A and B are shown apart, each in its own frame.
With several copies, the nearest count.
Chain A
């Protein structure tokens, strides 16, 4: 299955539903080591992404992701708004104006998203952020794509890797974002942004399965 306009739209739709279904959990994670708004932020942001997609009626998968990113930046606020917003926008731009792409292009788009987040936020692997879920996921996706594997398989592997990355944030001490203010007390909790990244990648796996 190729990644086209319909699939891209289905991805954002599924991501929004997944985040809304798990809004309370995301908020709870953020309350423990942040300020307790990550669930609301992501729900608001992905709703705005859907609204913007509906308004813009994009005709390529790249445009779908750019529209999603713009919607997220415009309405989310917080750290996750600019970070996820730039990520989707840069992923969309990486897809160019192709009507449909295969695994290698989608893998490159996901890598562009990761780079956007790193550039904007200045964080790296191990800082206990969404990067700790996204970076291994991108690597897993690209490994399968490089072997000629289909998008479905790559996306499933990415979601699994994100989940492991999420679990691996538990023993980390946060060095970026609000959780860093807690110092050693940030240890022992999942990072909320890594949790939402995992949900979003699981949604990709589901709509491409």
Chain B
């Protein structure tokens, strides 16, 4: 393993120092490991907090700023943050109108955020949690941990963030976040596993003719191993799974996301296939993102997230946003 790091132990601390130096628009609390807006919480606005394991950059710290998150709590690589840390983020985001926790559905994230919400309650901060679980690769069932929260989390953060900026109250913002999660589906394929610094080797090994179908964002194996194929087929397979789970029609927001180690030129090639598939099925790409938005360190592969737009969602998506990783309109 060769990594651009000082030591596996210092990766998060070093990255946070870097974020602090790079983005004057952010306040980075190195002690508590909280990234928040430099100006502090916006009084009277619902605060948005997200967090989870590190290694998914720009998620979540890169989405802190006007129109999106108020604070983020990055844990160790692929490990959810701890309750005290999430509490600190919640306090940094609290402008008196309550705080929304956006939590990806993993046992660790859910439990630590739940504990943090209880601590916040002790401090009289009203917290509502929305758990994202947009991964169509995982079979859903009440007997299991359910589906994972993956790429759709970016949509939730952007759209709920816009609603909060417009002045919606906590329950309304939470309702919108829940709705966004419900109308979003994602699917991912990996070509080569990423390497966790502390582990020192890739999370799984694949032969040159193999891919992992239906992976999450933590370098874990997928729901099955498949054969390497042209990008046309890999994208088609992904959209077939999504479409079977929630038929695609009308105007769509489509994210063709890289897992961190795939070059942008290939992501554009994959997006071309996605757009063609979608047009071919009578739906329409109304808005899109192509690039690295929710990654798995240096993993090679892609994910597709698709959201069914309506007028409200479109307006909130188009609303101004100014974060390190997503910015338009100001």
Contacts and interface: CB of A to CB of B under 8 A. Distances in A.
- Give yes or no for direct A-B contact (beta carbon below 8 Å): yes
Interface of A: 27, 31, 33-37, 40-41, 44, 73-83, 120-121, 175-178, 180-183, 185
B79 A37 contact: yes
A83 B220 contact: no
Given A34-B220, A35-B220, A175 B80 contact: no
A183 B139 contact: yes
A75 B79 CA distance: 11
B216 interface: yes
Contact of B223 (A31, A37, A41, A185): A185
Contacts of B107: 79, 121, 176-178
B106 A178 contact: yes
8 contacts: A31-B199, A33-B220, A37-B79, A37-B198, A73-B83, A75-B82, A178-B107, A182-B223
Q: Is the interface of A mostly helix, strand, loop or mixed?
A: helix
A81 B108 contact: yes
Interface in B118-136: 135
Q: Is the interface of B mostly helix, strand, loop or mixed?
A: loop
Interface string B75-117: 1111111111000000000000000000000111001101100
Contacts of B199: 27, 31, 36-37
Given A77-B108, A81-B112, A176 B76 contact: no
Contact of B221 (A76, A120, A185): A185
Counting chain B residues whose Cβ lies within 8 A of the other chain, the interface size class is: 35 or more
Contact of B144 (A75, A79, A121, A180): A180
Contacts of A36: 78, 196, 199, 203, 219
B311 interface: no
A83 B224 contact: no
A35 to B, nearest CB: 4
B112 A77 contact: yes
Interface string B212-250: 000010111101100000000000000000000000000
B220 A176 contact: no
Contacts of A35: 53, 78-79, 196, 203, 218-220
A90 B114 CA distance: 17
Contacts of A41: 76, 79
Contacts of B53: 35, 77-78
Contacts of B79: 35, 37, 40-41, 76-78
A14 B291 CA distance: 45
Given A35-B78, A37-B78, A41-B76, 6 more contacts: A31-B203, A77-B81, A79-B111, A176-B144, A177-B145, A182-B220
Contacts of A77: 53, 75-76, 79-82, 108, 112
A120 B112 CA distance: 11
B185 interface: no
